[in-house]
A and B are shown apart, each in its own frame.
Chain A
Amino acid sequence: MNLDKILKEVQKPARYVGAEYNSVHKELAEVYIRFAFCFPDVYEIGMSHLGIKILYHLLNEQKDIYCERVFAPWVDMEEKMRAENIPLFSIETRTPVADFDIIGFTLQYEMSYTNIINMLDLSGIAPLREDRTEDDPFVYAGGPCAYNPEPLADIMDFFMIGESEEQIIEVMDAYRKWKQSGRPKRAFLEDIVSIRGIYVPEFYDVSYNEDGTIKEMKPNHPKAPARVQKQYVRDMDAVYYPDNIIVPNMEIVHDRITLELFRGCIRGCRFCQAGMIYRPVREKSPKRLLALAEKLIDNTGYEEISMSSLSTSDYTGLEELTEGLLELTVDKKINLSLPSLRIDSFSMDLMQKVQKVRKSGLTFAPEAGSQRMRDVINKGVTEEDLMRSVSLAFAGGYSGVKLYFMIGLPTETKEDVQAIAHLAEKVVRAYKETPKHLRNKGLRVTVSASSFVPKPFTPFQWAAQDDIETLRDKQHWIKDEIHDKAIVYNWHEAQLSVLEGVFARGDRRLAKVLLRAQKLGVRFDAWHECFQYDLWMETFRSEGIDPDFYNRRERSYEEILPWEIIDPGVSRAFLERENEKAKRGELTTNCRDKCSGCGVKQFGGGGVCD
Chain B
Amino acid sequence: MIKYRFCYAKYGEAKYISHLDLIRMFSRSFKRAGIPLTYSEGFNPHPKMAIGLPLSVGLTSECEYMDAEVERPLKREDIDELNKKLPIGLTINGAAERIPGMKKLADIRWAEYKVTLDQEVAPEQIEGFMARTDVIVEKKTKRKTENTDILPDITSLTVNGECLTMVLSAGPSANLKPELVLCAMEQYIDGFVAGDYEIHRSKILTDNGKALL
Contacts and interface: CB of A to CB of B under 8 A. Distances in A.
Interface string B54-98: 000110000000000000000000000000011111000000000
Interface in A41-98: none
Given A13-B58, A21-B85, A251-B21, A300 B44 contact: no
A48 to B, nearest CB: 15
Interface in A253-299: 297-299
A5 B32 CA distance: 33
A2 B195 CA distance: 13
A250 B87 contact: no
Of B17, B44, B58, the most chain A CB neighbours within 10 A belong to: B17
B189 to A, nearest CB: 21
A358 B16 contact: no
A555 to B, nearest CB: 49
B104 interface: no
Interface string B134-167: 0000000000000000000000000000000000
A5 B196 contact: yes
Interface stretch (B23-31, B168-176, B180-188): B23-31
B14 A249 contact: yes
A8 B20 CA distance: 18
B87 A249 contact: yes
A403 to B, nearest CB: 24
Interface in B1-60: 12-14, 16-18, 20-21, 24-25, 27-32, 39, 43-45, 57-58
Contacts of B85: 21, 301
Contacts of A8: 58
A382 B184 CA distance: 69
A249 B32 contact: no
B24 A13 contact: no
B24 A21 contact: no
Size category of the binding interface on chain A: 20 to 34
B89 A301 contact: no
Size category of the binding interface on chain B: 20 to 34
**A interface secondary structure, majority:** loop
A14 B87 contact: no
Contacts of A483: none
B44 A358 contact: yes
Contacts of A300: 28, 32
Given A7-B16, A19-B13, A21-B86, A13 B29 contact: no
A249 B25 contact: yes
B29 A332 contact: no
B180 to A, nearest CB: 15
A173 interface: no
B28 A250 contact: no
Contact of B16 (A5, A13, A251, A298): A13
B32 A301 contact: yes
Contacts of A299: 32
Contacts of B17: 14, 249-250
A538 interface: no
A109 interface: no
Given A250-B18, A250-B21, A301-B32, A13 B57 contact: yes
A303 B28 contact: yes
Contact of A19 (B20, B31, B57, B89): B89
Contacts of A215: none
Given A332-B31, A358-B43, A358-B44, A17 B13 contact: yes
Nearest to B87: A21
Contacts of A20: 87
A301 B87 contact: no
A20 to B, nearest CB: 6
A332 B20 CA distance: 22
A441 to B, nearest CB: 14
Contacts of B32: 21, 298-301
Given A301-B28, A301-B31, A14 B44 contact: no
A298 B28 CA distance: 10
Contact of A249 (B16, B31, B44, B198): B16
B43 to A, nearest CB: 7
Interface string A243-254: 000010111000
Of A13, A18, A301, A358, the most chain B CB neighbours within 10 A belong to: A301
A364 interface: no
A333 interface: yes
A12 B32 CA distance: 25
Contact of A301 (B13, B27, B58): B27
A303 B16 CA distance: 23
A188 interface: no
B55 to A, nearest CB: 14
Contacts of A298: 32
A557 B32 CA distance: 57
A455 B177 CA distance: 54
Of A249, A297, A332, the most chain B CB neighbours within 10 A belong to: A249
A249 B21 CA distance: 7
A194 to B, nearest CB: 42
Interface in A20-41: 20-21
Nearest to A21: B87
A18 B20 CA distance: 17
A302 interface: yes
Contacts of A358: 43-44
Contacts of A249: 14, 16-17, 21, 25, 87
A251 B28 CA distance: 13
A14 B16 contact: yes
Contacts of A297: 31
Nearest to A14: B16
Nearest to B24: A251
A19 B86 CA distance: 11
B30 A301 contact: yes
Given A5-B196, A251-B21, A333-B39, A17 B16 contact: yes
A301 B29 contact: yes
A17 B20 CA distance: 17
A57 to B, nearest CB: 17
A352 to B, nearest CB: 16
Contacts of B29: 21, 301
Contacts of A250: 17-18, 21
A247 B88 contact: no
A242 to B, nearest CB: 15
Contacts of B31: 297, 301-303, 332
A301 B29 CA distance: 6
A332 B32 CA distance: 11
Interface in A215-246: none
Interface string A326-365: 0000001100000000000000000000000011000000
Interface of B: 12-14, 16-18, 20-21, 24-25, 27-32, 39, 43-45, 57-58, 85-89, 196, 198
Closest 10 CB pairs of A and B: A301-B28, A301-B31, A19-B13, A301-B32, A19-B88, A17-B13, A13-B16, A21-B87, A14-B16, A249-B17
Given A21-B86, A247-B28, A249-B17, 15 more contacts: A12-B18, A14-B17, A17-B13, A17-B16, A19-B88, A247-B25, A249-B25, A251-B24, A297-B31, A300-B32, A301-B32, A301-B85, A302-B28, A332-B31, A333-B45
17 contacts: A5-B196, A8-B58, A13-B16, A13-B58, A14-B17, A18-B13, A19-B87, A21-B29, A249-B17, A249-B25, A251-B21, A251-B24, A300-B32, A301-B27, A303-B31, A333-B45, A358-B43
